[in-house]
Each structure stands twice: as structure tokens, then as C-alpha cells.
Amino acid sequence: MLRAHLAVVAAAVLFGTTFVVVKDAIALAHPIPFLAVRFLVGAVLFVPFSRGQSHRADPGVVRAGVLCGAALLAGYLFQTIGLQYTSSSVSAFITYLLVVLVPVLSAVVLRRAPDRAVAAGVLLSTLGLVLLSGGVSHIGKGELLTLGCAFAFAVHILLLAEAAPRFPTAALNAVQVGVVGAVCLVVGLFTGGFGFPLKAWLAAIYTGAAVSAGAMGLQVWGQRRVGANRTSLLLMVEPVSAAILGAALGDHLGWEGALGAALILGGILLAEAPVLLAPRVENA
């Protein structure tokens, strides 16, 4: 179990390295062609491992992979396009409102209202978002797009919670990552093409290998043993690592932004307090 938790944490750190890299890259390349290269690289790297699992793969892995891939595609489109209009630190923190959204969506699917801790966490995190983005009157296109990303990624985590324990990791990842890459490849032909500079190509290859393959593989493997709420909590390492990296490279939040970030983290922790304090975390 410890290895599964560490795998998700390692995935979160890898995810966190992408915010600044992607923000710089999409200044040179259109977001959708960039995503196409990134995810096709990841899909290709999964193929050799998925072949070895083919004798164990249920035919349902394709359906599960397509569903997971659709949610992942929506999340990355919102996030990558949103990064054109907001900073990497703001993008990272808003994205991780998903840690609150996961238990809320679980409650909706199960037809149970969220408990008081989750409701309080949502309110606190919303206040943090207002401060982080400069107030209600200053929430712009980038922040709204990134909220869409948070919702899509929350759905993705819930879908993986169902699919990851049932199907081989590489086979499931090959399908879901391949779906994202294939759709972006087709759309990318009509939205800027693939004639971007070497720096953007290198960024796409790095994020494809380290994140679309490496981090996604670690997350899915970890989610075979770690539930949705616990996974979302562990992935909170991503915005923290992204914020540290962003600050080191010159991003500036100011005291309101720092307070907003703290409130978001506080809201997330408050919402997850029952899970943290529970004697058993296997089904968190």
C-alpha cells in the first residue's frame, strides 16, 4: 500500500513540473497540436508494455480507456488553453479544486449530499480562488477555463477509480492516452499545424515521456490500490511543487495570492479531514 501512495505522490511531482514548461511551449506552438505530440509520444511508450498484457486484458478495456481518455482530453484542453491567459501558479491551484470536486461528485453519483466538512471545504476553497485570482471582478478567461479543467480531471479520477483495478495498467493507459493524442492530432491539423520550433517539440517530447507516460502510469498503477478521494488528496502535491517551481522562475502571487493559495489548501484539507482521520484509508 505504501508503494501505491508513493507512486501517486511521484506522479504529482512530475505533473507539477509541466505548468511552466507547457506555458513557455504554448507561446511558441498552438495548444492542440502541442497536446497531440505530447500524448502520442506517451501512447507509443505504452504500446510495448500493453502488448505483454494483451492476454489478460478484458475487451472492456477499450471502452473504459475511451471514457477515461475523453475526460482526460477535456481536462488538458481546458488547462492548456487556459494557461495562455493565466500564470502557471494560478493554473496549478485552480486545477486542484478537483480535490474538493471528487468527493462532491462521488456524493452526487451515489445520490448522497456532501457532509459538512466537504461543504465547508468548498466554501473555503472558493474564497481562496477569489483571492488568488484577484477578486470576483477579475476572474478572467484563463481562470474559468481552468475551472473546467478541474471538473474534467475530477471526473477522470472517478472513472479511473472504477477502471484501474479491473484492467492492466499499460493497456488502459495506452487506450486513454492514445484517445487524447488521436483527437488532438486530427484537430491540430486545422488549428495551427505542427510547424512549431524545436524548443516546443522538445517540451512536447519531455511532457509526453515524463508525464503522459511516466506520471500517468504511476497514477493509474497507484489507483489500483488507492481510492479516488485518497488519490485526489495525494495529487495535491502537484500544485505545491508547481508553485515552488513557478516562484523560483519568477512568478509572483503577492500576499493576496499567497493567502488565497493557503485558503484553497485549507479548504482541501478540511474537506478531506474525515478521510485523513479515518482508521482505514484503503477505500478513501
Q: What is the pLDDT of residues 124-135, one digit of tens each?
A: 877 776 776 554
Q: Tell me if 170 is assigned to some domain.
A: yes
pLDDT at position 67 is 96
What tens digit of pLDDT does each residue of 72-111 get? 999 988 988 888 888 766 777 788 788 788 888 887 775 6
Low-confidence ranges of the chain (pLDDT < 70): 1-2, 51-58, 88-89, 110-115, 118, 129, 132-138, 239-240, 242-244, 246-247, 249, 251-254, 257, 268, 271-284
pLDDT at position 55 is 46
Cα–Cα distance, 184 to 173 (Å, whole number): 17
Whether 218 and 13 have beta carbons less than 8 Å apart is answered as: no
Q: Tell me if 83 is assigned to some domain.
A: yes
pLDDT at position 44 is 93
Cα–Cα distance, 7 to 72 (Å, whole number): 19
Q: Tell me if 258 is assigned to some domain.
A: no
Q: Tell me if 256 is assigned to some domain.
A: no
pLDDT at position 252 is 66
pLDDT at position 213 is 93
Give the distance from CA 90 to its chain's centroid: 14
The tally of domains found in the chain comes to: 1
Q: Tell me if 68 is assigned to some domain.
A: yes
Provide the domain limits for residue 212: 2-111+138-251
Cα–Cα distance, 76 to 8 (Å, whole number): 19
Q: Tell me if 16 is assigned to some domain.
A: yes
Q: Tell me if 42 is assigned to some domain.
A: yes
Q: Tell me if 283 is assigned to some domain.
A: no
Cα–Cα distance, 141 to 78 (Å, whole number): 10
pTM (whole model) above 0.85: no
pLDDT at position 184 is 95
